[in-house]
A = this chain, B = another copy of it.
């Protein structure tokens, strides 16, 4: 029998038919300055800007980023690409409320300081040491380097708003946990 789910008393043994076609599309965080965040995510993490949606009458813009390969059939037409963006998975949505970038005292809450809730996003990379050098080349702020702390091989860095980003090399984590 092929793998379906790990067993847990609370987990439905099968996905209900009513959830067929459900897809985890995106994760949204608010950012103070989209120019800073877009530079960071497109350069340091290689994400592409799939779509920008502006709502000037409500003073905010939304930026949708993801990793796409050059041979992926993303529509050139903007309306079609909006629909396409919402049908992808692994999308990061950045919300910019106009004006925050001009307030030197403005900062968002990272979810790891109190009050806690949200923790982090995580990127898988092919080579953790090469990734660490790349982060150093880009003056990224480290919370934990690969060789520090209890979880060897796992990196934590901060994004420009202070949100935590975990970075892992998938193959190296096979023995993680009990």
Indicate if the CB atoms of B92 and A124 lie closer than 8 Å: no
Overall SS of chain A's interface: mixed
Q: B3, A125: Cβ atoms under 8 Å?
A: no
Considering the complex, give the chain B residue whose CB is closest to the CB of A56. Answer: B178
Q: Are B117 and A163 in contact (CB under 8 A)?
A: yes
A23→B165 CA distance, assembly (Å): 12
Residues of B close to A83: CB separation below 8 A: 170-174
**Residues A142-178 near B (CB distance < 8 A):** 150, 161, 163, 166, 168, 170-178
Q: Which residues of chain B are within 8 angstroms of A111 by Cβ–Cβ distance?
A: 109, 111, 117-118
Contacts of A117 in B (CB 8 A): 29-30, 108-111, 118, 161, 163
21 A-B contact pairs sorted by A residue (CB < 8 Å): A2-B73, A10-B36, A11-B38, A15-B46, A18-B137, A22-B46, A24-B91, A24-B121, A25-B124, A25-B170, A27-B122, A28-B120, A29-B119, A53-B176, A55-B177, A82-B174, A83-B172, A86-B122, A86-B124, A87-B171, A108-B115
